[in-house]
Structure 1
Amino acid sequence: MALNILEAARRVIASVVITALLRVFRFFSAWKTAVPSAIKRVPPVGNPLLLLSATQLAKKIRRKEVSSVEVVQAYIDRIQEVNPLLNAVVKDRFAAALQEAAQVDKLIEEETGGEEVLEDRLPLLGVPLSVKESFALQGMPNSTGVITRKAILASIDAAMVALLKRAGAIPLGVTNTSELCMWLESHNHLYGIANNPYDLERTPGGSSGGEGSILAAAGSVIGVGSDIGGSIRMPAFFNGIFGHKPTPGIVSSEGHYPPASGRHDEYISNGPMCRYAEDLLPMLKIMAGPSVHMLSLNTKVDLKKVRFFSIPDDGGNSKSYPVSKELIDIQRKVVERLEADLGVKVEEVRIPELRYSFEIWSTYMNLPDKEGKPPTSMAELMGEPGRPVWPLWEILKSLMGKSNHTIPAIAFALTQMSCQSEPSPFIIQLRESLQKKVDKLLGTDGILFYPSHPRVAPEHHTPLLRPYDFPYTGIFNILGLPVTQCPLGLGEEGLPLGVQVVGGKLQDHVTLAVALYLEKTFGGWRDPGASKA
C-alpha cells in the first residue's frame, strides 16, 4: 500500500513539474519565434543529376555516362546551398568523398569484366550517402547530440554503414538527431535544431530528422536511420520521402549509439531512407547482410493477390491529437485508387487495443532483459562518460539557460523516475491480444494502411505540448512488424502527406512493392523549392 502511494506521489510530482516546465518553454519559444523568417523554404533543385535515383545514378556511373566525381560534387554543392537553412548535416567529409569518387572513376576505367560484374559486386558504386550521426562512421563524430560526447570520433564504421560502403556508396557526412535519439524533433545543444525544407519554421521530425531533411532537400539521394518509436517513419513523413522500418533483427544495430539495452533490441529497426521508392529494396538487400536470407526480397509481388486493410485512427486515445481531416482524406484516396486500379477490396477495420498504443509502447520499452537487467536510464546516458545527471537539477539549470541538455531529454529522464517498477498486467494482456489480432489479420499476404501521425509536420517545439502523438508509429515497433512510410503529395499548407504501409512479419517485400505502386500513383517526392499545395 505504501509503495503504491509513493509511486502515485512520484507520478503527480513529475506531471506537475513537466507541465510547468512546458508552459515556461512555450512562453520563451513563442517569444523567440515571434518574428517570421524572410526565407520559408529551400531553393528549387537546379542540377538534373540531383533528380535521379541512386539506382539510376549507379547505372550511369558504371556506363561512364557521368563520373562519380561529377555526382558527388553536385551533391556537395547542393548541401552547401541548403544546409545553412536546414542545419541537417552537422559534419561533412567532402574532401575525402571527392577522393573516393576519383578512385571509383579510376576503378571503372580499369575494369575489364564489364558493367554486369560491377553491378553484381558494387551495386552502389560511386553513389553519395548520408549517415545519421548516431551511427559510427569512421573519423566522424558519434555523439548523438550529447555535449559531453562531442570529442568522440568513430574509429570504425557501424555494421550496416560498412556494408553500404562495401557496396560502393560514398558517405558525404553525418546528420542531425534528437538528443540520444529519444524525441520527435532533431534538436540538441551540441548542434542545434534541424529545419524542414518545405517550411523552415517546422520540424523535420526525429530522431532521424537531419536525414529526412537533407534527403528531401536533394542534398543526399540515400541515407540511413534508426527507429524504435518512429524515428525513421516520422521524419520520412514530415519531409515527404520514403523510409522503411524493417522486421526487427534483420539489420544489425552494431555501431549505433546509444546501444540497445533491456529489451530494446526486440523493437529497434535500422533501415533505408530515400527520395525514390526503387532504392529501398536494393538498399535493404545490402544493409541486411547475412540476415538477408530471412526475407523474400527477390519474390515478385502481385498486388491483385494481396489482402488490404485500412484503419483511419487509433480509436480515440485521449492523450493523442485527433487525426486531421486532410490525412484521413488522403488515406481514403489511397483506398479508392487501389480498388479502382487493381480491382481489390480494401476492408476498413477497427482494433480497440490501438487506443492504448502509448501505454503499451512505454511499458515494453521499460521491461528488463532476460537476465532481469533494466534498460539503461536516460539519466545515465545523459551523463556519460561521467555520472548520471539529476533531472530535477537539470530542470532548474534549464530554466536559467545553463543545462547542457534539451527539455525533452530532461522530461524523459524525469518521467522514467516515476515509472512503475512492475508492468501492469492489464497492459501486458492488451499487447498480447493486439499482437494476436494483427498477426492474424495480416498473415503473409496482408497490408494495413495506418496514419503516420495525427498531423503534418508541426511547428518547431510544439511537439512538447503534444508529446503523445508518436504511438501511431511506435506501436509497430512493439509488434515487430515491417513498415514502409510513403509520401502522398502535399496538403493544404504545402506540407507532405503520407501513410504507413504495414506488413506481416518478414514480409518486407510486400510493403516495398506497395511503396512502388503508391509512388507511381501519387507522384512520390516533390521538390520542396518548387512545390505547391
Structure 2
Amino acid sequence: MAVAKHVQTVFSWLLTLLGWVFVPLTNYLFSRWYDKTVRTVQPVEDEVLLKSATEIARKIRSRELRAEDVMSASIARVQRVQGLVNAVVAPRYEDAIVEARELDKKLDADSSAEEFSETNMPFLGVPLSVKEAFAVKGMPNCSGLVSRKDYRSTQDCPVVERLRRAGAIPFCMTNISELCMWYESANRVYGRTSNPYNTSRIVGGSSGGEAANIASGAAVLGVGSDIGGSIRMPAFFCGIFGHRSSRGLVPNEGQFPMATGSEVDLLSTGPMCRYAEDLLPMLKVMSANNKQAQLDEKVDVTKLTIYNIEDDGGGLLVSRVDPQLKQAQARAVHYLQTSLGATVKNTSISKFKYAIDMWGAKMTKSGGKSFCDYMRGDQGEVNPLKELLLWLVGRSKHTLPAIALGLFEKGDHLLENVNKRALKSFDKMEEEITTLLDENSVLIYPTHPKIAPYHNQPLLYPFNWAYTGLFNTMGLPVTAIPLGLSREGLPMGMQIVAGMNYDRVSIAVAEELARAKVAEWVNPGAGLD
C-alpha cells in the first residue's frame, strides 16, 4: 500500500511537471496557427435586438413593436453573422415570417384579448432559436449524424410546443456536437461553429450553436439540453445565461439522441438566454409551472448562505482554473457578501476531484443504449476501431471525439473496480451536498477551468468538462452566468448550484448579479475600433 501511494505521488508530480511545459507549448502553437485569421462579429446595433424577451413581448402586446419586424430583425442578424459563426444549420425563416404576420393581424384586431395576456403568452411574438437535437415539426433532427441527415421531425417536442403556446415563434435550428457528446460543436453534417467574440475559439457543446446564436445577437431565447454540461459550457464560452433544470422538472422527450435507462437522471432540458430576467419565465413555461419546484415563490438573496469553491481540489486529469476566472468569481462573491449581505463561506469538497470517475460510472451502469449503437443509426452497432482507421485516411463519417468515446465505451469492462469505488464516493458526496444545499443556500463553482480554447484544443484536455458533469450526477439545478470579458476579450463566467427543486434560488442569485451588472452579456465587437 505504501509503495502504491508513493508511485501515485511520483506520477502526480510528473503530470504536474508535464503540464507546466505542455500547456504553454500547446497554447503557443495553437495561437500561432489560429490568430492569423481571428475575426469578431460586428456589434448588435438594432435596438430591437438589444431588449430582453419579456420586454419584446410586452412591446408587441402594446403594439409598440410588430412581431413581423422583430422576426425580420432577428433573421437579418443571423444572415449578417452566419458566415463567421455558422451557428444556424437549418433556417425556418419563411414560416416564421408568416406566423409573425398572422399574429400581428390578430393583435391589430384585438390586442387586449385574454389569449394574448402576459399570463397566457409571456413570449408573445418572440423569435425562438432551437438546438437541432430537439424535434421541431418539418425540421431536421440528426444531431450531426450523417446516416440521419435526411430525417425530418413530424411534430414538435414538448418544450417547443409549450414555448409556442406561450407565444414564441421558432425561426431556426442550431449546431451541435456529433450526437451531443463533446464540448466543441462540430460534426460531419453541418461543420464547425465559431465563437462570436473570436472566431478562432470554440463555442462549447453540445448546445454550442444555441449559445453562439444568442451571444451574437441573432436570438434572445434558446432551448438547450445538458447531460454533462451541454447548456452551461456553451453559455460560459459565449457569455450568456443558461440553466440546467432539476432532474425531472422539464420534459426531455423529443430529443435525438434520447437518454435511456438511468442516463435520464443525468439529462436535463433548460433555457438559454441573453438576459437573466428571461430565465425564470422560460423555465415556468418549459416546466408547465411544475409545482414541485414552487417557481413562483420569492427568494430573499440577502438571507442566503453562499458556499464558495474556487476549483476542483486538484484532480489529475483536469486543468487548474485560470486565475482570471478565479478573480471574476471572487468579484461576484464579494458583491453578494458586501452589497447584498449574504453569508459567504469559502469551502472545499474533496470528492469533487473525482467528478470524471463518478460521471463515467453513472453512465456505464445506466443500462441505457450504447453510444456505438447511436453512431450507426438504425444499422446496428458501429465498430469504433474500424472508424478510427477510416478517420486516419479521411474516410470516416464520424468525428474523432465520437470515435474516441466509442472506444472508451468498449473498454468500460476494464474499469469495473474503478466504477465501484466511484459509485461509493458518489453516495458520500451526494449525502454531503444534500445536507449542504437547501432553500437558503447555494454553491458557487467554476463552470470550466479554461477560458474559451482554440478550435480542436479540447482534444488535448478531454476531461475539463468535469466541472459541469459533476452536478449532472446528482441531477441538481445549476445556473451558468456570464462575468464579463477576459483581458483577451473572451467571455468568463461561473456556476450557481442549488438544492434539488430549488431552481428559483440559483436563478434569483443570477438575477441579483445581473441587476448589479456584475453578470451580463457583452455586445460582441462593441470595443472594436
Is the 1:494–1:532 Cα contact (8 Å) retained in structure 2? Answer: no
Distance 1:532 1:223 in 2: 27
Question: How far apart are 1:118 and its partner, in Å?
Answer: 2.2
Residue of structure 2 in register with 1:274 after alignment: 273
Residue of structure 1 in register with 2:360 after alignment: 362
Is the 2:39–2:84 Cα contact (8 Å) retained in structure 1? Answer: no
Distance 2:49 2:168 in 1: 16
Distance 1:417 1:531 in 2: 48
Q: Which runs of 5+ in 1 are unaligned?
A: 1-22, 369-373
Q: Residues 38 and 354 of structure 1: is their aligned pair in 2 closer, same or farther, counting only changes over 3 Å?
A: closer
Is the 1:177–1:209 Cα contact (8 Å) retained in structure 2? Answer: yes
> Does 2:381 align with 1:385?
no
> Does 2:397 align with 1:404?
yes
- TM-score, normalising length from structure 2? 0.92
Residue of structure 1 in register with 2:453 after alignment: 458
| 103-112 vs 429-438, which moves further | 103-112
Residue of structure 2 in register with 1:321 after alignment: 319
The AA in structure 2 aligned to 1:266 is D
Distance 1:172 1:441 in 2: 42
> Does 2:507 align with 1:512?
yes
Q: Residues 38 and 412 of structure 1: is their aligned pair in 2 closer, same or farther, counting only changes over 3 Å?
A: closer
Q: Alignment identity in percent?
A: 44
> Does 2:526 align with 1:525?
no
Residue of structure 2 in register with 1:84 after alignment: 83
The AA in structure 1 aligned to 2:125 is G
| 218-227 vs 119-128, which moves further | 119-128
Question: How far apart are 1:329 and its partner, in Å?
Answer: 1.1
Q: Deviations over 1:367-407 (max 9, x none)?
A: 13xxxxx2211211110121221111111110111100000
> Does 2:431 align with 1:432?
no
Q: Residues 239 and 32 of structure 1: is their aligned pair in 2 closer, same or farther, counting only changes over 3 Å?
A: closer
Residue of structure 2 in register with 1:9 after alignment: none
- TM-score, normalising length from structure 1? 0.91
The number of residues matched between the two structures is 501
Distance 1:270 1:38 in 2: 35
Distance 1:224 1:74 in 2: 20
Q: Residues 386 and 464 of structure 1: is their aligned pair in 2 closer, same or farther, counting only changes over 3 Å?
A: same
Q: Residues 112 and 218 of structure 1: is their aligned pair in 2 closer, same or farther, counting only changes over 3 Å?
A: closer
Is the 2:136–2:156 Cα contact (8 Å) retained in structure 1? Answer: yes
1:375 to 356, 368, 371: 368
Q: Residues 36 and 494 of structure 1: is their aligned pair in 2 closer, same or farther, counting only changes over 3 Å?
A: closer
Question: How far apart are 1:35 and its partner, in Å?
Answer: 6.3
Residue of structure 2 in register with 1:153 after alignment: 152
Is the 2:361–2:420 Cα contact (8 Å) retained in structure 1? Answer: no
1:483 to 453, 462, 478: 478
| 117-126 vs 418-427, which moves further | 418-427
Q: Deviations over 1:173-198 (max 9, x none)?
A: 10000000000100101100000000
Is the 1:445–1:504 Cα contact (8 Å) retained in structure 2? Answer: no
The AA in structure 1 aligned to 2:520 is G
Question: How far apart are 1:479 and its partner, in Å?
Answer: 1.2
Question: How far apart are 1:335 and its partner, in Å?
Answer: 1.7
Q: Deviations over 1:397-428 (max 9, x none)?
A: 10111100000000000000001274633211
Is the 1:62–1:115 Cα contact (8 Å) retained in structure 2? Answer: no
Question: How far apart are 1:36 and its partner, in Å?
Answer: 4.4
Q: Give the superposed CA RMSD.
A: 1.9
Distance 1:176 1:387 in 2: 25
The AA in structure 1 aligned to 2:310 is P
Q: Which runs of 5+ in 2 are unaligned?
A: 1-21
Is the 1:196–1:202 Cα contact (8 Å) retained in structure 2? Answer: yes
Is the 1:444–1:505 Cα contact (8 Å) retained in structure 2? Answer: no
Q: Residues 127 and 274 of structure 1: is their aligned pair in 2 closer, same or farther, counting only changes over 3 Å?
A: same
Helix, strand or coil at the partner of 2:450: coil
The AA in structure 1 aligned to 2:251 is S
Distance 1:64 1:74 in 2: 16
Distance 2:191 2:283 in 1: 31
Residue of structure 2 in register with 1:13 after alignment: none
Question: How far apart are 1:39 and its partner, in Å?
Answer: 5.0
Distance 2:489 2:216 in 1: 14
| 175-184 vs 262-271, which moves further | 262-271
Residue of structure 1 in register with 2:97 after alignment: 98
> Does 2:186 align with 1:190?
no
Distance 2:496 2:111 in 1: 43
Residue of structure 1 in register with 2:61 after alignment: 62
Q: Deviations over 1:16-56 (max 9, x none)?
A: xxxxxxx9xx99xx799836454511011121101000000
Q: Residues 311 and 112 of structure 1: is their aligned pair in 2 closer, same or farther, counting only changes over 3 Å?
A: closer
Is the 1:490–1:532 Cα contact (8 Å) retained in structure 2? Answer: no
Is the 1:488–1:518 Cα contact (8 Å) retained in structure 2? Answer: no
Q: Residues 333 and 220 of structure 1: is their aligned pair in 2 closer, same or farther, counting only changes over 3 Å?
A: same
Q: Residues 456 and 64 of structure 1: is their aligned pair in 2 closer, same or farther, counting only changes over 3 Å?
A: same
* Within-5 A mapping of 1:408-423: 408-420=401-413, 422=416
Residue of structure 1 in register with 2:261 after alignment: 262
Q: Residues 51 and 480 of structure 1: is their aligned pair in 2 closer, same or farther, counting only changes over 3 Å?
A: same
Question: How far apart are 1:344 and its partner, in Å?
Answer: 2.7
Residue of structure 2 in register with 1:17 after alignment: none
Is the 1:331–1:499 Cα contact (8 Å) retained in structure 2? Answer: yes
Distance 2:175 2:245 in 1: 22
Helix, strand or coil at the partner of 1:409: helix
The AA in structure 1 aligned to 2:350 is P
Residue of structure 2 in register with 1:347 after alignment: 345
Is the 2:240–2:521 Cα contact (8 Å) retained in structure 1? Answer: yes
